Structure 1
Amino acid sequence: MIQDISPHPLIAHGASIICRKENRFLLVKRGKEPLKGSLAFPGGGVEAGENAEQAARRELTEETGLHCSRLRLVDTIDLSQEGLYGKVYNLCIFRAYDLSGQEQAGDDAVSLHWLTVEDMLQHIVTVSTLAFARRILQEEG
C-alpha cells in the first residue's frame, strides 16, 4: 500500500457572497464544520480550475439556488486569524447584485435566512459576517 505523503497546501482560498434586500442580508445555516450550525454568508472553497469570482457564483447557486447578474469584490481577508483552519485561508468577499432564481437551501447549507443586523445579534453568526453586514450598510446606506 502506498501512503499519500503529498504536502498539504499552506494557503486555502475561498469566496463569500453578500446578498442584500433592503436592510436584510441572506445568511445560510452552516451544515458542516467549521462553525457548523452558525449563520454566515453563502460561500466556500475555490476549486481547481476556477477563480474566486467563479467560485462565488457557483457557491451562491449551490447553497441558495440563486444567481446574480453582477459581483463586486468588497475585500479579501485571512480567516486563519479566527483560528479555525490551522493555515492561511484567504477569503474573497463579494457583493452580489440583481438576484434571480428560486431560493432553496442546498449543498452544505441547512437553511436560508434573510436577517437585519439587529436580527443577527439574536443568532449565532460568524464574526466576519456581522462585521461585513455592518460595513455594507454603512457604505450603501
Structure 2
Amino acid sequence: MQAIIATLGYVLSPSRDQVLMVRRDTRPDDLHYGKFNGLGGKLEPDEDVVSGLRREVHEEAGLDCTTVDLAGTISWPGFGRGGANWFGFIFRVPAWTGTPLSGNDEGSLHWVPVEDVLAAKVPMWESDRHFLPLVFADKPRVFHGIMPFADGKALSWSYSAV
C-alpha cells in the first residue's frame, strides 16, 4: 500500500487534564471543516516522524516539544481526498515550551478538557473516538491500528497493543 505519511500530536496541559486542539474553521472547503483535531500533518521528504511532529506543532501552535511519547500508529486506507491512503504516527506531547498561538491557517486553537474529548462533547471525526481512549489512557500502551474509510466514514477499527 502506498500512503501519505503523517503525524498527529496531542499537546497536553501541564496538569494533563486538557489538550490543545485546532478547530478547523478557516476554510469551508477543508475536509476537516468544523472539527476539532490534534496538531500535525504530512511528513516532509527529509524528516523523521519526530522531527515532523515537532515542526508541525511549532508551525501550528508556536510551541517547541521537549518530550514526545509515541502513542501508536494508524493506517487509514481511503481516508483522504479521492480515497488517498494515510498512515499516521500518533503522539502525546506532555512537555513543551512557549506560549500557544490563538490560531493558525487551519483554524483556532483551544484548550479542551480531555474528559470532554473522551465524552464526545466536541465536534470531531466520529472515528477518532475509537483510538483516543488509547491515547489518553491512564496506563497507555503503544498501539497499531487500521481504520479503513469509504465516503468519509470509517468502515471498521481494529488494533494491536504492545
TM-score tier by shorter-chain length is: 0.7 to 0.9
TM-score (norm 2): 0.70
Distance in 1 (CA, whole Å) between partners of 2:54 and 2:63 is 9
Cα gap change, 1:105/1:90 in structure 2, threshold over 3 Å: closer, same or farther?
Answer: farther
TM-score (norm 1): 0.79
**CA offset digits 1:37-74 (Å, max 9, x no partner):** 21100010001211111110000011111111121211
Select 1:10's aligned residue among 2, 14, 18: 2
What's 1:23 paired with? Answer: 17
Does the residue aligned with 1:19 lie in a helix, a strand or coil? Answer: strand
What's 1:84 paired with? Answer: 80
Distance in 1 (CA, whole Å) between partners of 2:132 and 2:18 is 9
Matched length: 132
Distance in 1 (CA, whole Å) between partners of 2:128 and 2:113 is 12
Distance in 2 (CA, whole Å) between partners of 1:69 and 1:118 is 24
What's 1:5 paired with? Answer: none
Query: In the alignment, residue 66 of structure 1 is paired with which amino acid?
Result: L
**CA offset digits 1:103-129 (Å, max 9, x no partner):** 104543311111124433232112454
Query: In the alignment, residue 17 of structure 1 is paired with which amino acid?
Result: G
Say whether 1:136 aligns with 2:130: no
Distance in 2 (CA, whole Å) between partners of 1:129 and 1:24 is 17
Cα gap change, 1:20/1:140 in structure 2, threshold over 3 Å: closer, same or farther?
Answer: farther
Which is helix-richer, 1 or 2?
A: 1
Gaps of at least 5 residues in structure 2 are: 141-162
Does the residue aligned with 2:137 lie in a helix, a strand or coil? Answer: helix
Q: What percent of counterpart residues are identical?
A: 27
Which is bigger in relative contact order (C-alpha 8 A, separation at least 6)?
1
